Chain A
Amino acid sequence: MQDLASVDWSRAQFALTAIYHFLFVPLTLGLSFIIAFMETIYVKTGNPEWKKITKFWLRLFAINFAIGVATGIIMEFEFGTNWANYSWFVGDIFGAPLAIEGIFAFFLEATFFAVLFFGWDRVSKGFHLFSTWMVAIGSNLSALWILVANGWMQFPVGTTFNDDTLRNEMTNFFEVALSPVGISKFLHTVSGGYVTSALFVLGISAYFMLKNKHFQLAKKSFIVAASFGLLSSLFVLFSGDESAYQVAQKQPMKLAAMEGLYKGEVNAGVVAMGILDHSKKIGDNKDPFILKIEAPYILGVMATRGLNNFTPGIDDLVFGNEKFNIPSAQSRIDSGKIAIKALENIKIAKEENNTQKVKELREVLQENMHNFGYGYLDKPEDIVPPVGLTFYSFHTMVALGTYFIILFFVTLFLSMANSIEDFRKILWLCVFSIPLGYIASEAGWIVAEVGRQPWAIQDLMPVGIAATDLASINVKISFSLFAVLFTALLIAEIKIMLKQIKLGF
């Protein structure tokens, strides 16, 4: 019997690990490229100032990288420790991207990492630069494969259920690897990471400029960060739009929660800003918003790439909408239960060697397989994720993304005009914008992961079934240990980082 408290604690533990891990990953993704650009300029120009600049950012990169690795190892093994049923049910598919990540990305990173830090006087300039690029490519490739795996959980493709082995099995690797959800998640996540890194470099450089310390070196870094940041933030806009479209097509409930949209609309508007009414219940006629500023048509266009199309809301997805051919959650639950029952009966028919019955039941199973996970839900409302958290996280991310584009545009323009030092308030704004990149990144992950609840694998497996059969006391203890350890390491990281920044170039 599954201990439900243990499921919730496992969710909390995974969320804790992911949140901590993603405090470090975005900086690794982007800073590795920023450093590679800086070192390339050094190798091209031979100007030792650029070497000094590269080495300064490299020191900060190393401090961040170490803790990123420390928190990252947990992610891989937690699939086994806390989500064992999930690991078996989909390991045939999910394990492959993780193994490829290990072979092609992790080793690339790990091997050239040593050259990056200890190779300055041991290998040639060219080979060192090559190693720097390999570390950057390796860390970004790593993100690609893990996001392919995550994309598959959001939109399972290239797979079929095998009733002999009682699990999902891969039937088309390229469908998994090139899934539009996985690719758009990758592009959006890494470009978001580049923005966070650019803000980090921009803010610290601005601080040095304000304090008139290492002014020329800081200004050079500032220009690199502003250029990289502007390009990245514009790309985030594009990839974010594509991500939202994919969500609308494959996870309409998540989109509805992101927008607080209860009743579907034709030509739906996007909520630019809003305050949700927490007393709103699914299916009632209450306005979900206490306050709302809406831009008309935009959500409809984002979600359907056209005008006069219907965007379903939470109520439509829970209770169904015949006009737009949307089935109710209850009908999907019923269909899921038929699939589960058919699977049980297949087992009995196999024991009886009744091949005809097995064949018939298989057809029933396949017909209802797309609703398999629904069969484990108790009531239609279970398909609704936490709306408030998803809505506010999404809007925080979008608002910050818009602000970043403006900030990078202004800072790059003023840097090119060679007058950024005259705008001290903007420089201070850059300093205070450093944490905003992290907030936007974390908010993005909250949207992606909270917004897809209750699913471990969309429509196929709810989290309650995915978890390891553990007494909750085990997970409570491990959660507490992780929380203490990660917090201690985070404090250590911040203190060391601040000291290194203070020591300067």
Chain B
Amino acid sequence: MYELLQIYWWVIVSLLGGILVFMMFVQGGQTLIKCVAQTELDKDMIINSIGKKWELTFTTLVMFGGACFAAFPLFYATSFGGAYWVWLAILFCFIIQAVSFEYRKKPNNFLGQKTYENFLFINGSLGVILIGIAVSTFFSGSDFALNSSRFVEWNSPLRGLEALKNPFNYILGLALFFQARVGANLYLINNIDDDRLRAKFRRSLKINALIFVPLLVLFLVAVVLADGYHISENGTIVMKEYKYLMNLIEMPIVLGLLLVGILLALFGIYKGVFTLSIKGIWPYGLGVILAVMSVFLITGLNNTAFYPSYHDLQSSLTIYNASSSLYTLKTMAYVSIGIPFVLAYIIYVWKAMDTRKLTTEEIENDDHIY
């Protein structure tokens, strides 16, 4: 029962990770402002389109943190407390985003419109790349040990920034950055009713997809060839060759999710680049959620340490040693019954709001624009 609930919560965390990465199209859109928008009106169109969704990305990030805290508190304590500077840098990137949409165009905005647009760019680029690097340490490991009270002792004075020295971590960081831009182009094609802008987004989509897809392939190849942190039968953590490849083979459902996810994402990109359809975001979005979810699943399931320590293998975190108690996981499982209802009203409201697409007239006449 306990093990089942630990797996259940890792699946929930993985799903939230997938949704978070999909919702990063907001961040991707923030980086497109400087590249795609030629006029002030173009800029306003992009910002107002993604601005209606920024709260959901933010909330998913908070929810991801909350779920980790509740279900895997040792991970929360170890990663956030240990990799201090990486997480603080990510937080700074998100703080400056939260105000930027609302303040950018308001009169008397003190820091100036450009500053807020730069904030949006920093959040969309640095924030996303750093999240990718932080998640990449799920594979590459971190420099920590746990003392006898299970309190974290980080061994690098760089407190997490040492992850920047590992080139492997950049692959996921950059892949995430370009996937966010691909998602943004597909979302904007769907949400903005303007042929000229749609043509621009399709061009931008093609370029970003051309960079994203090879990065994704490179990341997947690097992962399946990598050694992984395996929990042996006596409970000790050992290095195992092709661990993640074996995880995919030994968990065919996860492999299926990954393949379906990748195919759906590619299909969405195809629809956006090669057809006039505006619906590419949906297969792409679902594909991203499934693919990212499966990547998280291979880090935590099948006797794998999801937050490995290369300093002291036995300090590595697994879904078994890092989780909450049986009682808490059970209580939280009851709470999670509410998730489908939450998803249902999000979908309903999304549909109600986006049935009518954003137009230039709306931007020019609305009294509450970003």
Among A357-365, A410-418, A485-493, the stretch in contact with B: A485-493
Q: Closest residue of chain B to A105, judged by CB?
A: B59
Residues of chain B within 8 A of A55, CB atoms compared: 367-368
Contact indicator A73/B76 (Cβ below 8 Å): no
CB < 8 Å neighbour of B77 from A88, A119, A173: A88
Shortest CB-to-CB span from A482 to chain B, Å, is: 9
Known contacts A63-B102, A80-B77; is A99 also within 8 Å of B91 by CB?
Answer: no
What is the interface residue range for chain A against chain B?
A: 35 or more
Contact indicator A495/B110 (Cβ below 8 Å): yes
Q: Closest residue of chain B to A67, judged by CB?
A: B99
Residues of chain A within 8 A of B335, CB atoms compared: 96, 99-100, 103
Main secondary structure of the interface of B (DSSP, over half): helix
Among B163-171, B275-283, B288-296, B326-334, the stretch in contact with A: B326-334
Report Cα–Cα, A67/B95, bound state, in Å: 8
Known contacts A77-B65, A102-B67; is A123 also within 8 Å of B328 by CB?
Answer: no
Interface residue? A15 (CB, 8 A): no
Residues of chain A within 8 A of B79, CB atoms compared: 80
Known contacts A88-B73, A103-B335, A500-B106; is A169 also within 8 Å of B62 by CB?
Answer: no
Interface residue? B241 (CB, 8 A): no
Shortest CB-to-CB span from A350 to chain B, Å, is: 12
Residues of chain A within 8 A of B150, CB atoms compared: 88, 165-167
Report Cα–Cα, A98/B324, bound state, in Å: 14
Shortest CB-to-CB span from B155 to chain A, Å, is: 11
Residues of chain B within 8 A of A122, CB atoms compared: 352-353, 355-356
Residues of chain B within 8 A of A295, CB atoms compared: none
Contact indicator A99/B108 (Cβ below 8 Å): no
CB < 8 Å neighbour of B151 from A77, A85, A170: A85
Among A274-282, A386-394, A468-476, the stretch in contact with B: A468-476
Shortest CB-to-CB span from B304 to chain A, Å, is: 21
Contact indicator B159/A80 (Cβ below 8 Å): no
Interface residue? B272 (CB, 8 A): no
What is the interface residue range for chain B against chain A?
A: 35 or more
Residues of chain B within 8 A of A81, CB atoms compared: 80-81, 84, 87-88, 91
User: Which residues B45-68 have CB closer than 8 A to chain A?
Assistant: 52-53, 55-56, 58-59, 61-63, 65-68
User: Which residues A70-124 have CB closer than 8 A to chain B?
Assistant: 70-71, 73-74, 76-77, 79-88, 91-96, 98-104, 106-115, 117-119, 122-123
Interface residue? B342 (CB, 8 A): yes
Known contacts A66-B99, A469-B152; is A110 also within 8 Å of B332 by CB?
Answer: no
Interface residue? B325 (CB, 8 A): yes
Residues of chain A within 8 A of B125, CB atoms compared: none
User: Which residues A370-424 have CB closer than 8 A to chain B?
Assistant: none
Contact indicator B95/A80 (Cβ below 8 Å): no
Interface residue? A481 (CB, 8 A): yes
Contact indicator A73/B62 (Cβ below 8 Å): yes
Report Cα–Cα, A67/B94, bound state, in Å: 11
Contact indicator B55/A87 (Cβ below 8 Å): no
Residues of chain A within 8 A of B342, CB atoms compared: 103-104, 107-108
CB < 8 Å neighbour of B99 from A93, A471, A489: A489
CB < 8 Å neighbour of B80 from A87, A469, A495: A87
Interface digits, A206-237 against B, CB 8 Å rule (1 contact, 0 not)? 00000000000000000000000000000000
Contact indicator B69/A73 (Cβ below 8 Å): no
Shortest CB-to-CB span from B201 to chain A, Å, is: 21
Interface residue? B220 (CB, 8 A): no
Contact indicator B349/A111 (Cβ below 8 Å): yes
Contact indicator B63/A106 (Cβ below 8 Å): yes
Known contacts A166-B149, A485-B92; is A92 also within 8 Å of B77 by CB?
Answer: no
Interface residue? B109 (CB, 8 A): yes
Interface residue? B85 (CB, 8 A): yes
CB < 8 Å neighbour of B95 from A74, A85, A86, A113: A74
Residues of chain A within 8 A of B349, CB atoms compared: 111-112, 114-115, 131
CB < 8 Å neighbour of B103 from A102, A478, A492: A492
Report Cα–Cα, A419/B58, bound state, in Å: 47
Residues of chain A within 8 A of B339, CB atoms compared: 103
Interface residue? A125 (CB, 8 A): no
CB < 8 Å neighbour of A84 from B82, B91, B352, B353: B82
Contact indicator B69/A91 (Cβ below 8 Å): yes
Contact indicator A87/B73 (Cβ below 8 Å): yes
Shortest CB-to-CB span from B358 to chain A, Å, is: 9
Shortest CB-to-CB span from A26 to chain B, Å, is: 18
CB < 8 Å neighbour of A496 from B62, B81, B110, B366: B110
Residues of chain B within 8 A of A91, CB atoms compared: 69-70, 73-74, 76-77, 324
Report Cα–Cα, A247/B136, bound state, in Å: 46
Shortest CB-to-CB span from B187 to chain A, Å, is: 14
Shortest CB-to-CB span from B175 to chain A, Å, is: 24
Residues of chain A within 8 A of B59, CB atoms compared: 102, 106-107, 109-110
Shortest CB-to-CB span from A159 to chain B, Å, is: 10
Interface residue? B346 (CB, 8 A): yes
Shortest CB-to-CB span from A259 to chain B, Å, is: 36
Q: Closest residue of chain A to B146, judged by CB?
A: A88
Residues of chain B within 8 A of A127, CB atoms compared: 352
Contact indicator B328/A170 (Cβ below 8 Å): yes
Report Cα–Cα, A481/B327, bound state, in Å: 40
In the complex, 16 of the A-B residue pairs with CB atoms within 8 angstroms, ordered by the A residue number, are: A58-B368, A62-B102, A77-B87, A88-B74, A88-B77, A99-B332, A106-B59, A107-B346, A110-B56, A114-B52, A173-B327, A468-B84, A469-B81, A469-B151, A469-B154, A492-B111
Q: Contacts A66-B103, A84-B80 given; 4 further ones with Cβ under 8 A?
A: A62-B368, A169-B324, A170-B328, A469-B152
Which 8 A-B pairs have CB atoms at the shortest separation, nearest pair first? A91-B73, A84-B81, A80-B80, A95-B70, A70-B98, A95-B69, A499-B108, A99-B70
